[in-house]
Amino acid sequence: MNYYPLTLPITNPLNPNFVFPDVTSIPDPWTIWLPEAKDILSDEVFAWFKEIKSMPHFVHLFYGKAGRECKIHTDGIKNPVPAAINWVLSGQSSEMIWYDPLTEGNIEYVTGSKREHIYWLDNEVTEIARHQITVPTLVRTDIPHKTINNSNDDRWCLSVRFWPGKPWNKTVDMLKDYIKPL
């Protein structure tokens, strides 16, 4: 499995003081911000991470216009980030899709996230799973994946990674008490 819907003791992941970026005039239909964890996450999130003996780290806020999608990619190059918890705040009928790579992929520098990543073209992968994220969900990010916003709403997604990072299987194990039975 490349994703696990979670039951978390968190009613609102957002810090009530957080102000969303103004997207009325941004040129890019798919944009990433990297806010400080303390600025965007609620106290409930910090309390829960403490409970699991981890820390929220490297928070991403994704914005994707209705009808758009990102490239197929992994998160990071040398040491890809294995896992994140995603809260899709709007545009919940968007889909996250995972792939088996058929090639080594192509390297690209991503301005928004200020780092390199590897991307694949559609004919360089085989789809292995897709999922609509409607509750906080543990998602695998070190294998090729992308998101399509096929909803009519702009998509905002809060994505939180773990510190210290662990391999995917160990992260799943760490969260086993919170994984919803399928």
Min CB(143)–Fe ion separation in Å: 10
Closest among 165, 176, 172, 168 to 57, alpha carbons compared: 165
- What is the arrangement of strands in the sheet containing 95-101, beginning at the earlier edge strand? 106-110, 115-120, 72-73, 145-148, 95-101, 125-132
> Which one, 12 or 106, has the nearer CB to Fe ion?
106
Choice between 44 and 110, CB closer to Fe ion: 110
Q: In 3D, which of 177, 173, 85 has the Cα closest to residue 133?
A: 85
Q: Which of 75, 76, 83, 168 binds Fe ion (CB under 5 A)?
A: 75
CA distance 2 to 106: 22
Number of residues that bind Fe ion (CB under 5 A): 2
Q: Which stretch binds Fe ion (CB under 5 A): 27-35, 43-51, 67-75, 92-100?
A: 67-75
The minimum distance between CB 96 and Fe ion, in angstroms, equals: 9
CB of 27 to Fe ion, least distance (A): 21
- The residue with its CB nearest to Fe ion is 75
Tokens of 11: 């009613």
Distance in angstroms (rounded) separating the CA atoms of residues 140 and 130:
12
107: exposed, middle or buried (C-beta count within 10 Å: 0-12, 13-18, 19+)? exposed
Q: Which is nearer to Fe ion, 15 or 141 (CB)?
A: 141
**Span interacting with Fe ion, options 5-13, 46-54, 61-69, 74-82, rule CB under 5 A:** 74-82
Per CB under 5 A, the segment of 1-9, 85-93, 95-103, 137-145 that binds Fe ion is 137-145
Least Å distance, CB 86 to Fe ion, is 9
Nearest approach in angstroms of CB 129 to Fe ion is 14
List, in order, residues 6 or more apart from 85 with CB less than 8 Å away.
Answer: 6, 136, 137, 138, 139, 159, 160
> Site residues (CB under 5 A) for Fe ion?
75, 141
